[in-house]
Structure 1
Amino acid sequence: MNHSSPRVAMLIIDMINDFSFEEGQDLIESASNLPEKVSILKKQLKSYNVPIIYVNDNYGRWQSDFKDLFNHCMQQQQNVREFNELIKPEEDDYFVLKPQFSGFYATPLDILLRQLDVQTLILCGVAGNMCVHFTANDAYMRGYQLFIPSDLSASLTKEENEQAISIMKTVLGATTTSSENLSIDSLLEDAEEYYDRTI
């Protein structure tokens, strides 16, 4: 199989985050193991040339670009800085700033994915029951195949996150295998087959 142009992209949702909102500290605690786990999968996927796209809230900072946003997060308190540092974007990663919960709403995400010839998405990030779920809904309506590893998103509580994962699996047909049990070779083959069926 040709790994030079995989039909899959990884969306990292709202992980560049200042957590300076009500319940922000509760969410960062709930998501504390995410940056390391997401980084491991990100590294594995990049070895197959899978594009990585940071899909991020702009927190009302309409005059900022993504680098400004990251720098802003790196000026917060220590636990916030450490969280962001662990999931720091690299030069060849893509980014899309969003004004609302869904990564597709009023953004160029769909155009970017079609330019990359991608029809399958791996979603991870915070919060699982909000921005990950809203993005998954919009992706599903646009015909994308979804992989949402059960251990790569977090909500305020574990129960809320499990409920969101369950809905995305049942209603949106998402594969929710945990990142440790995800076979990247199988995923890429599946994505290739899905792409061939849908073009």
Structure 2
Amino acid sequence: MSEADSRTALLVLDVFNTFQFPGGDELFQQAQEAIGKIRLLRERFHAREAPVIFVNDNFDRWQDSFDELVDYVAGSGAPGRTMVEALCPHGSDLKLLKPRHSAFFETALPSLLDHFDVRRIVVTGLAGDSCVLCTVLDAHVRGITPIVPADTTASQTIERTTRALAHLRETFGTETPLSERVDPH
């Protein structure tokens, strides 16, 4: 199958977070601008019936399902509740928990992408210089084309996000357009 015949999926990484860690307040503040852009991009993917996949850290809550984790985050305080209210998955959205930084590491994501004939992923979420970066690198290694809309990711500082996006562009040729320029075909 050629890339032209394959589908594009939207990945939303680690948006459900308690932000209760050193630097969490800063990450939450930086994430505020990305929330609305992620939501609009998700609506465009829904309109095209393209896969939307939430992949979230399990926070060592190994017994929890994805929905139980979202409930836990919503009850953790204002930052977590804000993220859940803004980006809670819809019924058609797919949901995976991950134990580490990359959405590919020890998850069903590779099988899920194969099932939907996905060869291109749009990676959004938190943090740009950690989980987004690791996921994009793993996609690249697997021959999956990653795109990271610059306005849909955040790190603890703007500088950290800027450096991560520059690294992805310079080293791997990753496109980092504004989200309004992303085609969910």
Q: Could you tell me which residue of structure 2 aligns to residue 128 of structure 1?
A: 128
Partners of 2:155 and 2:161 within 8 A in 1: yes
TM-score normalised per structure 2: 0.94
The two structures, once aligned, show a CA RMSD in angstroms of: 1.3
Percent identity, aligned pairs only?
33
Report the alpha carbon displacement of residue 83 of structure 1 after superposing the two structures with TM: 2.1
Whose relative contact order is higher, 1 or 2, with alpha carbons under 8 Å and at least 6 apart? Answer: 2
Aligned-partner SS, 2:123: strand
Question: How many angstroms apart in 2 are the aligned matches of 1:88 and 1:142?
Answer: 29
What are the superposed Cα offsets for residues 65-111 of structure 1, whole Å, 9 maximum, x if unpaired? 10000000111222331222101101110011110101111111101
1:183 and 1:133, CA in 2 relative to 1: closer, same or farther beyond 3 A?
A: closer
Alpha-carbon contact 1:6-1:50 (below 8 Å) kept: no
1:162 maps to amino acid: T
In 1, are the aligned partners of 2:126 and 2:132 still within 8 Å (CA)? Answer: yes
**Residue correspondence of structure 1 range 108-119 to structure 2 within 5 A:** 108-119=108-119
Q: What is the total number of aligned residue pairs between the two structures?
A: 181
Output the TM-score relative to the length of structure 1: 0.87
Change in CA separation of 1:32 and 1:137 when aligned onto 2, cut-off 3 Å: same
Match of 2:163 in 1: 163
Which runs of 4 or more aligned residues in structure 1 lie more than 2 Å from their structure 2 counterparts after TM superposition? none
The corresponding residue for 1:101 is 101
Q: Is the 8 A contact 2:42 2:52 kept in 1?
A: yes
Q: Distance in 2 between matches of 1:24 and 1:81?
A: 14
Give the distance between the partners of 1:109 and 1:39, measured in 2 at CA.
Answer: 21
Alpha-carbon distance in structure 2 between the residues aligned to 1:150 and 1:82: 21
Deviation larger for 29-38 or 98-107: 29-38
Gaps of 5+ in 1: 189-199
Whether the aligned pair in 2 keeps the contact of 1:8 and 1:121 (CA below 8 Å) is: yes
Alignment of 1:44-83 (within 5 A): 44-83=44-83
Cα distance in 2 between the residues matched to 1:45 and 1:6:
15
1:90 corresponds to which residue?
90
